[in-house]
Amino acid sequence: MTEPQTEPQTEPKTLPRPTGATPSTTRAPRGLSWKARRRGFTVLHRFLLVVAMIFFVAPFLWMLLYSLLPAELLQRRDPDLDLTRITFSEYGDLLTDSSFLKPMGTSALVALLTTLICLALGSFAAYGIARFRFRGRQPLLLAMMATQAIPVIVLAVPLFIIIRGMGLFDTPWALVIVYTATILPLVIWMMVGFFEAIPASLEKAARIDGCNRWQMLLRIAFPLAATGLAATGIFAFITAWSDFFLAKILTASGSTTLPVRTASFQGLFAMDYTAAATAGVITSLPVLVLTLAAQKWIVRGLTEGAVKG
Amino acid sequence: MSRPHSFPTSSAVSRRRFIGIGGALAAGGLLAACGGEEPVTGGGGDAAPASTLGTTSGASGSIRILDDNTNPVFLNGVVEAFQNDTGITVEYEQANFNDLHDRLATLFSAQDSSYDVVMTWAAWSAEFGQAGWLQALGSDAVPTDLLPAALDAVSWNGTVYGLPKFASAQTMFYNKELFRQAGLDPEAPPATWDEFVAAAKALTTGDRYGFTCDMGNTDGAYQNFVRTLLLNGGQMYGDDNTVTFNDERGVEALTKLRDLLTVDKVMNPSSLQITNASDLGTLFGAGQTGIVFNWPSQWAAATKEGAVVGRENTGNAIIPGISVTTASIDGSEGFAINQFSQNKPAALAWLQYVTQRPVQTRIVEEEGWFPVTTTLLDDAAITETLPVVSTYKEQSDFEIRRYGSPWYSDVTQVLSTNISRAMLEQATPQEALDEAAARATDIVERYTG
């Protein structure tokens, strides 16, 4: 694999720049040095990053505070952030409550199975599409992407009828099947990019060395596409783990998932803010941990897939 | 009912509407193709159901019920008592109210008969009833002494689609101790809007507002406006569902509501963020505001152990009117029968059982809701159990509305967005209501053809 192109590491030699002079652009303020301009852009860039980070992180931090502090402190006109009153009691309550643990287990089961099935089916399918030229290859890829354009709400009733007909309503298997069906096309699409990024010459060399197609796949292609597999797997897991709408439609009390259970803390006349926030933190933790742990893989994998696909 | 939602948006096609229309079309198509047990109507126009369900003797078998989680009393003995009394086996399931609409729309669209009885309220009775998904009831199946507002919550366009399980309406709660501190007579609550504003001003101090409400979400903003509109003698719709809430009375009502915040400065600014009745109840129970207009559960919140206000200092009265004596907004809930149910007689037996004295008494005593019949409302024993009932009785002599309709959700969004604009002084009340009325007119026309 080759690394994606980034910014040039050296200045172009064909553009000599007099000391202290600005580059040949008329937009730069007169008298401002190139270094000063660059420093200004860096400061602005970092400032925007901090603003963006606050924008995205602040709601999560507020949710975290709600899960740790008594709600009455935060619901005052001037919220009281008395950190000495932090308590983990709600976490203890929820994590010992079977009505919360069961949905947690269901979500984990569904997300893991969906991820495994999507990776198993998706990687083989993607390899085939990436390596073999056959009639209808491009339309097939486009058709798979087209499925992603269909709003899931349109599929709700047909899916319900199918799942009910299969006798799987209110079971985790209903969600595994439906999530696999909805996530798999995107997994294939992503994986095709990763496999196409692997030079075919490597596989040819392996073949010369005596590898058959399976060995080439397992010893050359999959290891080289590991970052892509990781990125795609995390994507599949997060999508299945986070789904709310289909889980609401296709399950009842028997197979409630964590997002649906979390939403139930918001009732018709009342809302248990502390429980909802705690459940929200618990629900987002696996996503957060996975993303942080595999951050490099995700960025690298997605970039490779995007650039070379 | 204060349904928690994110802050109002002005999206033209909501998810709820989308699934509703899609489901109606799907159901209509399927019914046309396959033929139904009974003729039902599609999702548009004013068509009435072709057949109604009347009381039959000897209901038996089993039924499944899908309810929201407002009434623990059903799980705590009522279902068991019903089974013992009737011999009908019941599988009773509770689900979060916020999840129910989409679940029901999907079930109905698929002509699913898993549930025989489903929970309903004013908006769903209209939406699902008009779509032909709820079984219409015959007159002999409906108790004659039902309260009009409670009956309205299970009806649409002259057809009764269910029976109420409890009645609910907002009344005024006030803190008698704060009244005393402000030099007001705690036994003489404000009876007119001007008296209410004066009292709220007297109750407003440096660290407390005299009045608080819950306008922080779509339904909350809608409810607070509609209540004020009714208090000013206005109506949401005229004949043939013509939008009228932007007439002179409507504009005056919204102006008075806004003035509480911006001119009189007696409304807690947090009112624009409070999203449910429980938070409002907690605020009042903690003695942090003088007056609220809230659901009957406010009584329990203010008088429960640990509440600052307590039973002796919780005052309750009808809501002061602007140009009429009083009016209120309805929050009654009920049960309806799934059109595709395979055991409608047994389902009807459940609906009727819930309206009877033993169940109603428990709902009043244990949960603090109002009874659904005038007979029980007149019962001294019930009034003694829940003092708020006597206020409701007085309140129910005047208009109590919710304006449930198939287009309720869409109009609520449009209206609440513009009410918020007016409250935040981003538009005048006239501009805000005119904008809302124009969009609401389009919405109603889409539904009525």
Q: What is the pLDDT of residues A98-108, one digit of tens each?
A: 989 999 999 99
List of residues 6+ apart from B91 with CB closer than 8 A: B62, B63, B64, B65
Same domain, B249 and B319: yes
C-alpha distance from A159 to closest chain B C-alpha (Å): 10
In chain A, what residues touch B18 (CB-CB under 8 Å)? 153
C-alpha distance from B4 to closest chain A C-alpha (Å): 7
pLDDT band at residue B303 under the 50/70/90 scheme: confident
What distances in angstroms separate CA B262 from CA B267, B269, B424, one per listed residue? Answer: 8, 9, 9
Same domain, B87 and B141: yes
Q: Are the Cβ atoms of A268 and B19 closer than 8 angstroms?
A: no
Q: What is the reported pLDDT for A301?
A: 62
Same domain, B302 and B427: yes
Same domain, A44 and A114: no
* High-pLDDT (> 90) share of chain B, %: 72
- Does A32 or B178 have the greater pLDDT score? B178
pLDDT in tens, B319-361: 999 999 999 999 999 999 999 999 999 999 999 999 999 999 9
Same domain, B306 and B416: yes
What is the rounded average pLDDT of the residues B146-168?
95
Q: What is the reported pLDDT for A265?
A: 85
- The beta-carbon neighbor of B3 closest among A154, A164, A268 is A268
Residue B25, pLDDT > 50, answer: no
pLDDT in tens, B393-441: 999 999 999 999 999 999 999 999 999 999 999 999 999 999 999 999 9
Give the H/E segment covering residue B244.
none
Q: Are the Cβ atoms of B96 and A271 closer than 8 angstroms?
A: no
Same domain, A83 and A101: no
What is the rounded average pLDDT of the residues A164-183?
95
Any A CB within 8 A of B408 CB: no
Domain boundary among B357, B372, B394: B394
Domain boundary among A44, A61, A87: A87
List strands edge to edge, sheet with B209-211. B209-211, B289-294, B171-175, B314-317
Q: What is the reported pLDDT for A13?
A: 44
Please indicate, yes or no, if residue B3 is contained in any of the structural domains.
Answer: no
Question: Residue type at B398?
Answer: F
Same domain, B137 and B281: no
pLDDT in tens, B182-199: 999 999 999 999 999 999
Same domain, A80 and A191: no
Q: What is the reported pLDDT for A1?
A: 38
Please indicate, yes or no, if residue A24 is contained in any of the structural domains.
Answer: no
Please indicate, yes or no, if residue B399 is contained in any of the structural domains.
Answer: no
What is the rounded average pLDDT of the residues B380-392?
87
Same domain, A151 and A284: yes
Site of tokens 């901090």 = A50
Residue A239, pLDDT > 70, answer: yes
Please indicate, yes or no, if residue A160 is contained in any of the structural domains.
Answer: yes
Please indicate, yes or no, if residue A16 is contained in any of the structural domains.
Answer: no
Share the mean pLDDT of chain B.
87
Same domain, B139 and B274: no
Most confident of A207-216, B220-229, B284-293: B220-229
Same domain, B146 and B30: yes
pTM equals: 0.80
Same domain, A71 and A188: no
Same domain, A259 and A198: yes
Residue B385, pLDDT > 50, answer: yes
Please indicate, yes or no, if residue A1 is contained in any of the structural domains.
Answer: no
**Which residues of A lie closer than 8 Å to B, measured between beta carbons?**
75, 77, 153-154, 156-157, 160-161, 164, 169, 245, 248-249, 252-253, 260, 263-264, 266-271
Please indicate, yes or no, if residue B275 is contained in any of the structural domains.
Answer: yes
CATH of the domain at A180: 1.10.3720.10
What is the rounded average pLDDT of the residues B285-304?
88
pLDDT in tens, A15-73: 444 444 444 444 555 667 888 888 889 999 999 999 999 999 999 999 999 999 987 78
- The beta-carbon neighbor of A268 closest among B15, B19, B68 is B68
Same domain, B132 and B222: no
Same domain, A197 and A257: yes
List of residues 6+ apart from B299 with CB closer than 8 A: B173, B314, B316, B368, B386, B387, B388
Please indicate, yes or no, if residue B62 is contained in any of the structural domains.
Answer: yes
By C-alpha distance, the chain B residue nearest A256 is B95
CATH of the domain at B434: 3.40.190.10
Any A CB within 8 A of B65 CB: no
Residue B12, pLDDT > 60, answer: no
Residue A267, pLDDT > 50, answer: yes
By C-alpha distance, the chain A residue nearest B207 is A77
Same domain, A207 and A276: yes
Please indicate, yes or no, if residue B2 is contained in any of the structural domains.
Answer: no
Q: What is the reported pLDDT for A173?
A: 96
By C-alpha distance, the chain B residue nearest A260 is B99
pLDDT in tens, A176-230: 999 999 999 999 998 998 888 888 888 888 888 888 888 888 888 889 888 889 8
C-alpha distance from B112 to closest chain A C-alpha (Å): 8
The count of structural domains within chain B is 2
Same domain, B271 and B313: yes
Q: Are the Cβ atoms of B278 and A271 closer than 8 angstroms?
A: yes
Q: What is the reported pLDDT for B440?
A: 97
Residue B211, pLDDT > 80, answer: yes
Please indicate, yes or no, if residue B400 is contained in any of the structural domains.
Answer: no
In chain B, what residues touch A77 (CB-CB under 8 Å)? 270
Q: Which of A202, A245, A254, A246 is nearest to A223 (CA)?
A: A202
Q: What is the reported pLDDT for B83?
A: 97
Same domain, B234 and B121: no
* High-pLDDT (> 70) share of chain B, %: 89
Range of the domain at B92: 15-42+50-167+332-394
- Does B297 or A91 have the greater pLDDT score? A91
With 0-12 / 13-18 / 19 or more C-beta atoms within 10 angstroms meaning exposed / middle / buried, residue A210 is exposed
DSSP tag of B25: H
Same domain, A104 and A51: no
What is the rounded average pLDDT of the residues B259-266?
96
Same domain, A121 and A185: yes
pLDDT in tens, A108-143: 999 999 999 999 999 999 999 998 888 988 899 899
Q: What is the reported pLDDT for A30?
A: 63
d(CA B213, CA B224): 8
Domain boundary among B351, B366, B394: B394
Same domain, B325 and B336: no
Same domain, B282 and B297: yes
Same domain, A255 and A284: yes
In chain A, what residues touch B295 (CB-CB under 8 Å)? 269
Please indicate, yes or no, if residue A170 is contained in any of the structural domains.
Answer: yes
Residue B449, pLDDT > 50, answer: yes
The count of structural domains within chain A is 2
Please indicate, yes or no, if residue A102 is contained in any of the structural domains.
Answer: yes
CB B90 within 8 A of CB B59: no
Share the mean pLDDT of chain A.
84
Cross-strand pairs, A69: none
Half-sphere exposure of A190 (CA within 13 A, CB side): 27
Please indicate, yes or no, if residue A280 is contained in any of the structural domains.
Answer: yes
d(CA B164, CA B161): 10
By C-alpha distance, the chain B residue nearest A161 is B110
- Here the ipTM equals 0.74
Please indicate, yes or no, if residue A92 is contained in any of the structural domains.
Answer: no
C-alpha distance from B368 to closest chain A C-alpha (Å): 13
Same domain, A43 and A188: no
Q: Which of A130, A105, A109 is nearest to A216 (CA)?
A: A130
Q: What is the reported pLDDT for B406?
A: 95
pLDDT band at residue B213 under the 50/70/90 scheme: very high
C-alpha distance from B91 to closest chain A C-alpha (Å): 12
Residue A145, pLDDT > 80, answer: yes
pLDDT in tens, A288-308: 888 888 777 777 666 665 444
Evaluate the CA torsion angle B211, B217, B223, B225 in order and state its sign. positive
Half-sphere exposure of B48 (CA within 13 A, CB side): 11
In chain B, what residues touch A73 (CB-CB under 8 Å)? none
CB B135 within 8 A of CB B274: no
Range of the domain at A64: 34-87
C-alpha distance from B1 to closest chain A C-alpha (Å): 7
pLDDT in tens, B27-45: 433 333 333 333 333 333 3
What distances in angstroms separate CA B168 from CA A79, A85, A287, B328, one per listed residue? Answer: 33, 38, 42, 10
Please indicate, yes or no, if residue B123 is contained in any of the structural domains.
Answer: yes
d(CA B85, CA B113): 24
CB B392 within 8 A of CB B326: no
Please indicate, yes or no, if residue B359 is contained in any of the structural domains.
Answer: yes
